[in-house]
Amino acid sequence: MKLERLMSGLEYQVVQGQTDLDISDVIYDSRRVCRDCVFVCLIGSGADGHQYARKAVEGGAVAVIVSKDISIEGAAVIKVADTRKALAYISANFFGNPADSLTTIAVTGTKGKTTTACMIRSILEKGGMKTGVIGTLGIQIGNQLIKTANTTPESYEIQKAMRIMIDEGCQCVVMEASSLGLKWHRTDGFTFDYGLFTNFSHDHIGGVEHADMEEYAQCKAMLFRQCKTGLFNIDDPATPKMLEGHTCTVETFGFSEQAQIRASDDHLLSRPGYLGVRFTVTQNDKDNSTDSSVLTFGSMTLDVDIPGKFNAYNALAAVAVCRHFPLTEQQIFDGLNEVRVKGRVEPVNIPGNFTLLIDYAHNAVSMENILTTLREYHPKRLVTLFGAGGNRPRDRRYEMGEISGKLSDLSVVTEDNSRFEDVMDIIRDIEVGLHKTDGNYIVIPDRTDAIRYCIENAQDGDIVVLAGKGHEDYQDKNGIKTHYDEREVIADIIKERS
């Protein structure tokens, strides 16, 4: 593709050379340069791509995209105001603007992005619409999972993934739009059909992320100048901030009477192997909608097989966007009732009258959230298996031990990515927090042995949560990552027992 065509939609200055060049690929990592590529100089927290421009040209790049004045020979030099934004537009053009052939949905918010995205996908696929997902769990296309380094990958990876989705027959894509992804223009280059706001709370402040809560909110609000229809949680106090400067059509959801899509009558559902929430959703704007394709309904009672009222909000958000698709009420019901989110309060089918869950909770805040939620289901015992990561601040371990000691009937302390530390040193730090409570605990350093103990000693009515791993499928010890998937471990233990 010609460089001039790749630059379509951007303002730029040709510093030297010409744009009538055939480009083989778009590269932003100098270690991956190839013959006849264009190299985009990104400025990151730890490195500046401008320093590697000469190396890229020596490796075969015929053009360099810069935002600083640099001296370099042997390649075209194109100057732009922001190379990250340029990468997004160049990547979109390089892959043939795949967003034009997909219905695109973005989910932003502090919590619930992953769960809400999976709910949307589950509903749409019940309606026969193959849907890809880009987010924390990676890039999901059918049964294929491509791991990514960030919740919202670099724009080149996003555009490449959407092109693959089209080739694989996808009609829709759901993307987790993180505040940093929006801030760093990873989602630029196209307009989302739908943008969804879940909630807002303290997160990602300091360091190389956001200077303060104001900037954090402003970055999330960028989505609503980059989508056609915005759907907002009307109950969240930050919604007015999200609406500042918006250019999209506005729709609302929530438990408030003013919400266009309103939830009510929520209550918890509990039986062995199933912890969920049931609620009624009412459409309050059915007589005012001008979109003939919008599903109209009076009210629906929905079940979600993920515990906690906050998941009623996530499900409500999914309904709010999915009603814009050609779906039936039954497809929405089935999509929510059967949704599975890997590593997010994920139930595991096992013999016995107790509930076994896998969850990603790996710090004190996330542990407190999940354990408080599970307490609401009044288990006979709440058993929490967890460890703490090595080469991380020790006070996190104290805090995790204290939270589990307060909220669990039994804590099973074990390993979790000890990295270059001795697992027993980490466990001793966790015990400092446990000793501040009256909670019972047992130490089993080997995680597989600890899981086996939980399964063999579970009592009827127990809830057992394996915390920390979630969607991860490895253990990190002494600088070596080895395959470790708790689902496989559980299956092996059950096979041994039978």
Check pLDDT > 60 for residue 354: yes
Q: What is the structure's pLDDT at 309?
A: 85
Model confidence at 451, pLDDT cuts 50, 70, 90, reads very high
What are phi and psi for residue 400, nearest 5 degrees? -65, -40
Least Cα distance to 445 among 363, 361, 387 occurs for 387
**SS3 labels along 245-305:** CCCCEEEEEECCCCCCEEEEEEEEEEECCEEEEEEEEEECCCCCCCCCCCCCCCEEEEEEC
pLDDT in tens, 82-110: 999 999 999 999 999 999 999 999 999 98
pLDDT at 321 over 80: yes
The encoded tokens of residue 159 equal 């555009």
The answer to whether residue 298 scores a pLDDT higher than 90 is no
Whether 61 shows a pLDDT value over 60: the answer reads: yes
Tokens of 344: 């997010």
Is residue 445 within 8 A of residue 477, CB to CB? The reply is: no
- Please choose, from the candidates 362, 467, 481, the residue with its C-alpha nearest in 3D space to the C-alpha of residue 419: 481
Residue 310's SS3 state is: helix
Burial class (CB within 10 angstroms; exposed 0-12, middle 13-18, buried 19+) of 398: buried
Q: What is the pLDDT of residues 401-421, one digit of tens each?
A: 999 999 999 999 999 999 999
- Given pLDDT bands bounded at 50, 70 and 90, which one contains residue 208? low
Q: What proportion of the chain, given as a percentage, has pLDDT over 90?
A: 87
CA dist., res. 131 & res. 117, Å (int): 10
What pLDDT was estimated at residue 216? 87
Q: Name beta bridge partners: 383.
A: 410, 464
Contacts of 353 (CB under 8 A, 6+ apart): 272, 460, 461
Angstrom distance (rounded) from CA 66 to CA 79: 5
The predicted pLDDT at position 284 comes to 85
- Tell me the three state secondary structure of residue 51: helix
Tokens 């515990």 map to which residue?
A: 307
Q: Is 461 helix (H, G, I), strand (E, B) or coil?
A: coil
What are the pLDDT digits (tens) for 5-47? 999 999 999 999 999 999 999 999 999 999 999 999 999 878 9
What are the residues facing 474 on neighbouring strands? 483
DSSP 353-372: SSEEEEE---SHHHHHHHHH
Angle of helix 394-407 versus helix 423-434 axis, rounded to 10 = 50
Query: What is the residue-wise DSSP string for 227-259?
Result: EEEEEEETTSTTHHHHHTT--SEEEEEESSTT-
DSSP label of 393: -
Instruction: Name the pLDDT band for 291 (thresholds 50, 70, 90).
Output: low
Say how far residue 98 (Cα) sits from the centre of its chain.
21
Q: What is the pLDDT of residue 244?
A: 95
pLDDT at 245: 95
Please report the DSSP string for 367-387 in residue order. HHHHHHHHHTT--S-EEEEE-
Residue 78 has pLDDT above 60, yes or no: yes
- Percent pLDDT > 70 in the chain is 97
What is the pLDDT confidence band of residue 205, given thresholds at 50, 70 and 90? low
User: Using one digit for the tens of pLDDT, what is the confidence trace for 138-169?
Assistant: 999 998 999 898 889 999 999 999 999 999 99
pLDDT at 296: 80
Tell me if 49 sits within 8 A of 28, measured CB to CB.
yes
CB 89 within 8 A of CB 11: no
Give the β-pairing of 103-108 and 346-347. unpaired
Give the model's confidence band at 297: pLDDT under 50 very low, under 70 low, under 90 confident, else very high. confident
What pLDDT score does 273 carry? 83
Domains by residue range for the chain, with CATH: 3-94 (3.40.1390.10), 98-337 (3.40.1190.10), 346-497 (3.90.190.20)
pLDDT for residue 293: 67
The residue to which tokens 């693959």 are assigned: 164
* pLDDT above 60: residue 122: yes
Q: How many CA atoms lie within 13 A of 497 on its CB side?
A: 14
Quote the radius of gyration of the chain (alpha carbons, Å). Answer: 24
Mean pLDDT of the chain: 94
Q: pLDDT tens digits, residue range 459-484?
A: 999 999 999 999 999 999 998 999 99
How far is Cα 269 from Cα 105, in angstroms, rounded to an integer? Answer: 29
Q: 218-251, pLDDT tens digit by residue?
A: 999 999 999 999 999 999 999 999 999 999 999 9
Per-residue pLDDT reduced to its tens digit, 367-412:
999 999 999 999 999 999 999 999 999 999 999 999 999 999 999 9
Spatial separation of the C-alpha atoms in residues 197 and 224, rounded to whole Å: 9
Residue 319: C-alpha distances to residues 89, 92, 253 (Å): 31, 29, 9
E strand or H helix at 446:
none
What pTM was estimated for this model as a whole? 0.89
Q: Show the tokens assigned to 379.
A: 């288990």
| CA 4, 5, 7, 11 torsion-angle sign | positive
What would the two tokens of residue 498 be?
């039978």
Side chain identity at 15, as an amino acid letter? Answer: V
How far apart CA 78 and CA 64 sit, in angstroms, is 6
Strand 440-443, strand 249-254: pairing: unpaired
Task: Compute the average pLDDT of residues 350-362.
Answer: 94
Quickly state the pLDDT bin for 287 (edges 50, 70, 90).
very low
- Both tokens assigned to 143: 């049964």
Q: What is the pLDDT of residue 290?
A: 47
Mean pLDDT of 259-267: 95
